[in-house]
Amino acid sequence: MKEFFKNATSGPLIQRLYSRRRQKWLGHGYGYDTPHRLYDDAVGELVTEYMRDRGITAQQMTVPHAREVIELIMKSPDPRIKNFVKMIHTLHRFFRRHGGRGNE
């Protein structure tokens, strides 16, 4: 997913999402493990199918399109997506309840 949007769009949002700090964090392998790669592959397939079905390119994607894609991701029955989203929600609840790791 990261590579799809990084290659397809530009501007301040993408610059913020893929800042040096985030790249450094990802470059060390934190948070980008096998389940994340499987999720990225599955989301890439979902987005490609979405655009093909609507006859649009990444550059033609609008905010409503992006919202629809996010909704499809959140409701996806694909286990590569569903399991990863569930894990992220679990981690989010944990860190909201117990705070960060102490280095944020």
User: At a CB cut-off of 8 Å and minimum separation 6, what does 82 contact?
Assistant: 76
Using left for φ > 0, alpha for ψ between -120 and 50, and beta otherwise, residue 62 falls in: beta
pLDDT tens for 30-88 read: 566 788 889 999 999 999 999 999 999 988 888 899 999 999 999 999 999 999 999 88
Inform me whether the pLDDT recorded for 10 exceeds 60. no
Rounded Cα gap, residues 84 and 76, in angstroms = 11
Identify the residue with better confidence: 70 or 22: 70
| Total-model pTM | 0.65
User: At a CB cut-off of 8 Å and minimum separation 6, what does 31 contact?
Assistant: 25
> What number is the average pLDDT over the span 1-29?
54
Identify the residue with better confidence: 38 or 99: 38
